[in-house]
Amino acid sequence: MFVSLNWLKNYVDIDGLSAEDLAERITKSGIEVEGLERFASVSTNVVVGYVESCEKHPNADKLSLCQVSIGEETYQIICGAPNIAQGQKVAVAKPGAVLPGNFKIKKTKLRGSESNGMICSLQELGVEEKFVPKEFASGIFVFPEDTEVGADVTELLNLDDIIIELGLTPNRSDALSMLGVAYEVAAILDVPIRLPHTNYHSSEETAAQHIGVKVEATEQNPYYGAFIIKDIKIAPSPLWMRNYLMAAGIRPINNVVDITNYVLLEYGQPLHAFDYDKFDSQEVVVRMANDGEKIVTLDDQERTLSSEHLVITNGKKPVALAGVMGGADTEVSDQTTTILLEAAYFDGQTVRKAAKAFDLRSEASNRFEKGVDPNRVRKAGEKACQLLEKYADATVLDGIVEFDQLDYSEKMVTIWTSKINDRLGTAISNDVVADILRKLHFNYEQDDETFTVYAPTRRQDIVIFEDMLEEVARIYGYDNLPFTLPGGGGAQVGGLTKQQQLKRHVKRFLEGAGLSETVTYSLTNKERVTQLVSPEVAEALVSAVSLSMPMSEEHSTLRLSILPEMLSSVAYNLARKQTNLAYYELGSIFISKEQEVTKQPEEKLRLAGVLTGEWNHHPWQQEKKTVDFFVVKGVLEALFASLNVQVIFTQAKVEGMHPGRTAQLFLNNHAIGFAGQLHPQLQKSYDLKDTFVFDIDFDIFFHFTKMNQVLLQFHVILV
Amino acid sequence: MKDQLQVLEKEALQKIEDADSLKELQDVRVAYLGKKGPITEVLKGMGGKLSKEERPVIGELANTVRGNVAEALNRKKADIEAVELEKQLAEETIDVTLPGRPVPTGGPHLLTSIVEEIEDLFIGMGFEVREGPEVETDYYNFEALNLPKGHPARDMQDSFYITEDILLRTHTSPVQARTMNMIKGERPVKMICPGKVYRRDTDDATHSHQFTQIEGLYVDKHVQMSDLKGGVLDRFAKQMFGEDREIRLRPSFFPFTEPSVEMDISCKVCHGKGCSVCKKTGWIEILGAGMVHPRVLEMAGYDPDIYSGFAFGMGPERIAMLKYGVDDIRHFYTNDIRFLKQYHQA
Ligand SMILES: [Zn+2]
């Protein structure tokens, strides 16, 4: 959520605080401020000018020679914008002005004519291209006719506004509105809040004469309010509104669209405007879609609906995908004169499903998904009517045609000062609790230390004692929480299990023997998952476990051996001239004993190793020892000896391994893994040189380790 | 005869003195102390020439002479041997400045070092280390943690599903739920659970579809939020990052805790004044924590009116990145030996 501080100032008094201090206060007590930026970089000496005349430059087709008055003075300025015209009010950077990017404006000559300044586009004033209204996107910005000549452009365009970006957690959807943010800031700073008015004049004619509302899916749509507004004149919205929208990250379009967006941001309530003349009926029917029913949405895509999608219909066919996107047929256009304005409450999960299914997440769907404030639905519609009346010259028909089964009740939560103190470790008084509730604008009844709190409907997240505990804690301030040590009740000696100790022992042993630990991905691809599966694993296994919707084929299946991903790491190193490698890894493989996975696979810890290149190298004595089978066997035998287990190596054939240089390992007649040289073909497929590997079942290995004896050694290691 | 013996002794001692090899010494030994040597000869000829009284006197003298010569021989032999040894050792001289014969050296992965450091730190505070499956059921990964199906917070951690009900765990919290369920509210729980977790993130400098987590849980009677702040988080921050670090808690949201907080530590670079490392805030985000949600306690068989608890969770990758200036999370999974070796002593 992007919050314009200039906009916020309409509701709460924040003038005494720097933006940084305000951001820190909000972060510490409420919602994390993730960014704090000026709306546009600094410009100086840019004022509103009136284009008195505008002629073609005598020596250049694409340039215009303009006489621009900025009050007392008139400047000759050459302008290259295609939309420049006589009679416009424009942004003039006077000679000596500095634009964003430290761009200094000087008197200059262009094709033989003097130019004393520059007429600016919004982009040149530092506004991001994506927020610039389309009509000004490839030219200069034109102010409304009533703009005062000579006025400061920075101020007029809110260029010095500070935008704070709030990182909203899912519970704080109340702050998806300027009013919600205002309540939050009012509570944190303990300042009063000024709420907007929504009054407008309504005509004799009633909305009910033109529309009826019927809701069939009452659970998914407990409130639907329809307003009829006629005599609309589509035009640009007022400058201040465009400024606020751009600051909030929304591109201004026209007064009707901008007003619905403005109200969405102010109240957190999405609205939708249908072109009434294209609505093609006098009745709104809200129902679940039929399977296979189709609608062409505003983005001109045909969407095939199912019975879990909620639609607004005109009684004949869907005209909007409720809470997600309107239909193209009833879209508001420049010719629109009458609109049907929808202010509704749609169930979050229903909207979520549709938005996800069609990949249509929007500002509107996001707010419905998180839950809008029941008490603001109707108000938001009224606010839009007020603005349409004022800024679109419209007439609002009397009354709201409604379906209303919405729950407006405030949740009652009981809190006790003693329980708050018991949970927080604080010693706050009843008065402090009462004061915090007052700051939050929560209604409550107090009986000594018992408070019955009525959580306002804008705070749908407050349901139980602990939710209120958090409210009290954060407004009281986590900085004010004491530092205490847990009491003696649960005194417990911490520690590692025997298996965890064994893991550490094996790791340290192998590291001492010259091996480096790797950590590779558990998810591998369909080809690698079949490689170097140890014989006893292959025997226990029915199928490999694959993700139902992998992000990529590379990471689609859970590994059956750590080795393939390790080999891939070795290849990565070889490609970077790191040729002498001795790696081990201790990690899980995932064995499913079912053809179709229905339960968790068995997770087995495996100890794997890959060695290649020189084992040791003594340069000045010309001694070199490259890794061979017996180097690997030597390391393993030493490891087994350190664990007091007898492991037998027998000649064996394992797929992917050298047929004459591979051993299967047995511990107490259990096959526990294998060791040997890679088969040259497999080696080649990974771009490796002679490579030796081992892969051992760690669990069975742990089972047969004489733990008592091993533990004696551990004490020495661990102490 | 007496004189004769004394002359012989003098002669022999002189020859010993002059000898400079073991061979010469051996010759002297044979010449003077051998069976045909002059001293033996003198003693042999004693019979006819000496009186009864003289005989023992001369005999004793002869033995003394033999003894003196033998002793001189031994002394000289030791001297010569010492000299010869010295010579031999001198010949054996090597250039000790040449490089040594290398021993293969390995080491732990940086993540292991960090995880073990954190484990040891919490073991010191009385926590057990518990592990659990990486492939979890929807119940333990979400529902038991107050994340029912359709909960918007499930979006925060889009998951890798295998079936509708089985998925790769998105955090290690299911180990906590499993442990509590196993103990069934019969005694307090004080544990940490390290392990691998998986989320649907595209791998880039700050995201990884696989990463590591360590979560902690302490449930007991009268556990307070101030215990979390003072007893665990502050101690952890100071031991892990330095005694001069301050902590700050600020509101956050996790479905399984209420209240929920984020813990920041003061920035080492600017000491809270604000710099580029801390994005001008003076603080660096380290971990999330909070008081265990009563629903979570209830589902695991703990009566939330009797028991309370706190939980916390952190990412070892992030901690390693902050502590050692690692700038790309992918480095942890590429296993470039040059990267790994850099942190073998970490
Ligand atoms: Zn800093």
List pLDDT tens digits, range A261-299: 999 999 999 999 999 999 999 999 999 999 999 999 999
pLDDT beyond 70 at A490: no
Q: According to the model, what pLDDT value does residue A717 have?
A: 39
Q: Rounded to 5 degrees, what angle do the CA atoms A544, A545, A547 make?
A: 140
Answer whether B226 sits within 8 Å of A425, measured CB to CB: yes
B294-342 per-position pLDDT tens digit: 999 999 999 999 999 999 999 999 999 988 989 999 999 999 999 999 9
Give the gap in angstroms from C-alpha B104 to the nearest C-alpha of chain A. 4
Share of chain A above pLDDT 70, in %: 97
Which residue from B minimizes the CA distance to A615?
Answer: B104
Contact (CB<8Å) A423/B294: no
Higher pLDDT, B124 or B3: B124
Q: Which residues of A touch B105 (CB under 8 A)?
A: 514
Which structural domain range is residue B30 located in? Answer: 2-91
Q: Are residues B120 and B194 in the same domain?
A: yes
Closest CA to B291 of A466, A417, A475: A466
Shared domain for B83 and B205, answered yes or no, is no
The answer on pLDDT for A611 being more than 50 is: yes
Q: Do B225 and A425 count as a contact with CB atoms less than 8 A apart?
A: yes
Q: Which of A28, A522, A547 has its CB closest to that of B162?
A: A547
Distance from the CA of B286 to the center of ligand 1, in angstroms? 14
Residue A325 confidence (pLDDT)? 95
Question: How far is Cα B185 from Cα B182, in angstroms, rounded to an integer?
Answer: 8
Band of pLDDT at residue B46, cut at 50, 70 and 90: low
Long-range contacts of A170-174 (CB under 8 A, 24+ apart): A170/A370, A170/B152, A170/B153, A170/B155, A170/B156, A170/B253, A171/A461, A171/B253, A172/A30, A172/A31, A172/A461, A172/B253, A173/A268, A173/A367, A173/A370, A173/A371, A173/A460, A173/A461, A174/A268, A174/A373, A174/A458, A174/A459, A174/A460, A174/A461
pLDDT tens-digit profile of A557-592? 999 999 999 999 999 999 999 999 999 999 999 999
Decide if B296 contacts B145 (C-beta within 8 A).
Answer: yes
ipTM entry? 0.87
Which residues of chain A have a CB within 8 Å of the CB of B106?
A: 510-517, 582, 584
Alpha-carbon span B211 to B41, nearest angstrom: 98
Tell me which DSSP letter residue B11 carries. Answer: H
Taking contacts as CB-CB distances below 8 angstroms, the residues of chain B near A162 are none
Residue A711 has a pLDDT of: 47
Residues B148 and B49 in one domain: no
Q: Is the pLDDT assigned to residue A699 strictly greater than 60?
A: yes
Q: Best residue in A475, A600, A606, A612 to probe B by mutation, most B CBs within 10 Å?
A: A600
Are B182 and B59 within one domain? no
- Average pLDDT of the segment spanning A103-127: 89
Same domain (yes/no): B170, B301: yes
Whether B137 and chain A come into contact, CB under 8 Å, resolves to yes
B338 CB neighbours in chain A (<8 A) are: 576, 578
Cα A379 to averaged position of ligand 1 atoms, centre (Å): 45
Taking the centre of ligand 1 as the mean of its atom positions, its distance from the CA of residue B284, in whole angstroms, is: 8
Q: Could you give the number of structural domains in chain B?
A: 2
Q: Find the CATH number of the domain harbouring B307.
A: 3.30.930.10
B168, B249: one domain: yes
Give ion ligand 1 contacts, CB < 5 A: B 267, 269-270, 275, 277-278
pLDDT digits 0-9 by tens, B216-260:
999 999 999 999 999 999 999 999 999 999 999 999 999 999 999
- Mean pLDDT in chain A? 92
Considering B91, B121, B143, which residue would you say is the last residue of a domain?
A: B91
The answer on B317 and B174 residing in a single domain is yes
Whether residue B98 lies inside any domain: the answer is no
Query: Does the pLDDT value for residue B105 go beyond 70?
Result: yes
pLDDT tops 90 at residue A506: yes
User: How far apart are the C-alpha atoms of B264 and B283, rounded to whole Å?
Assistant: 6
- Do B18 and B133 belong together in one domain? no
A369, A470, A615: residue with CB nearest B152: A369
> Minimal Cα–Cα distance from A388 to chain B, Å?
34
Same domain, B156 and B287: yes
B104 touches chain A (CB under 8 A): yes
For the cut 90, the answer to whether the pLDDT of residue A689 exceeds it is: yes
Residues B150 and B246 in one domain: yes
Domain end: B40, B60, B91, which one? B91
Confirm whether B101 is domain-assigned.
Answer: no
Measure CB to CB from residue A517 to each of B108, B150, B229 and give the nearest one: B108
pLDDT of residue A110: 82
pLDDT of A708 reads 42
Q: In this structure, is residue B200 part of a structural domain?
A: yes
Strand, coil or helix: B131: coil
Which helix (H) or strand (E) segment holds residue A435: the answer is helix A430-439
A34 CA distance to ligand 1 middle (Å): 15
Q: Is B94 on the interface with A (CB under 8 A)?
A: no
> Among A28, A41, A12, which Cα is nearest to A163's?
A41
Distance (Å, whole) CA B291 – CA B226? 10
- Residue from B162, B167, B257 to probe the interface with A (highest A Cβ count within 10 Å): B162
Give A359 to chain B, closest Cα distance, Å.
Answer: 14
Residue A441 confidence (pLDDT) above 80: yes
pLDDT at B156 over 70: no
Q: Check CB contact under 8 Å for A30 and B224.
A: no
Contacts of A615 in chain B (CB under 8 A): 104
From the CA of B264, how far away is ligand 1's center (Å)? 12
User: pLDDT of A2-25, one tens digit each?
Assistant: 999 999 999 999 988 999 999 999
Reading the block at residue B140, the tokens are: 């333990």
Tokens of A598: 């229905």
Contacts of B332 in chain A (CB under 8 A): 519
How far away is chain A from the Cα of B326, in angstroms, using its nearest Cα?
16
- Domains for chain A: give ranges and CATH numbers: 2-39+161-189 (3.30.56.10), 44-156 (2.40.50.140), 202-404 (3.50.40.10), 412-479 (3.30.56.10), 499-707 (3.30.930.10)
For residues B79 and B123, membership in a common domain is answered with no
Q: Provide the shortest C-alpha distance from residue B129 to chain A (in Å).
A: 6
How does pLDDT run across A35-84, given as a tens digit for each residue?
998 888 878 889 999 999 999 888 888 889 999 999 888 999 999 899 99
Residues B178 and B301 in one domain: yes
Helical (H) or strand (E) element with A704: helix A698-704
With a CB cutoff of 8 Å and minimum separation 6, the contacts of B220 are A486, A487, A489, A490, B188, B189, B190, B307, B308, B309
pLDDT in tens, A290-321: 999 999 999 999 999 999 999 999 999 999 99
Is A718 a residue whose pLDDT tops 70?
A: no
Nearest CA in chain B to A523: B210
Q: Which of A387, A2, A441, A437 is nearest to A194 (CA)?
A: A441
Give the residue-averaged pLDDT of A607-611: 98
Residue of B nearest to A603 (CA): B133
- Collect all residues of chain A within an 8 Å Cβ-Cβ radius of residue B220: 486-487, 489-490
The answer to whether residue B172 sits within a structural domain is yes
pLDDT band for position A710 (50/70/90)?
very low
Chain A and chain B share a number of CB contacts under 8 A equal to 262
State yes or no: pLDDT of A504 exceeds 50.
yes
> What is the separation of C-alpha A138 from the centre of its chain, rounded to a whole number of angstroms?
31
Is the model's pLDDT at B151 over the cut of 80? Answer: no
| Residue list for the binding site of A for Mg(2+) | 461, 467, 470-471
Mark yes or no for CB contact A425/B152 under 8 Å. no
Cβ of A486 within 8 Å of Cβ of B251? The answer is no
Spacing, Cα B266 to ligand 1 middle (Å): 8
Please report whether residue B100 resides in a domain.
no
The verdict on residue B115 lying in a domain is yes
> Does residue B247 sit at the A interface (CB-CB below 8 Å)?
no
Q: How far is the CA of B247 from the centre of ligand 1 (A)?
A: 14
Chain CA centroid to CA B313, Å: 26
**Å between A580 CA and nearest CA of chain B:** 9
List, for residues A516-543, the tens digit of each pLDDT value.
999 999 999 999 999 999 999 999 999 9
Average pLDDT on B64-73 reads: 87
Asked whether the beta carbons of residue A521 and residue B104 sit closer than 8 angstroms, the reply is no
**Distance of alpha carbon A160 from alpha carbon A480, whole angstroms:** 35
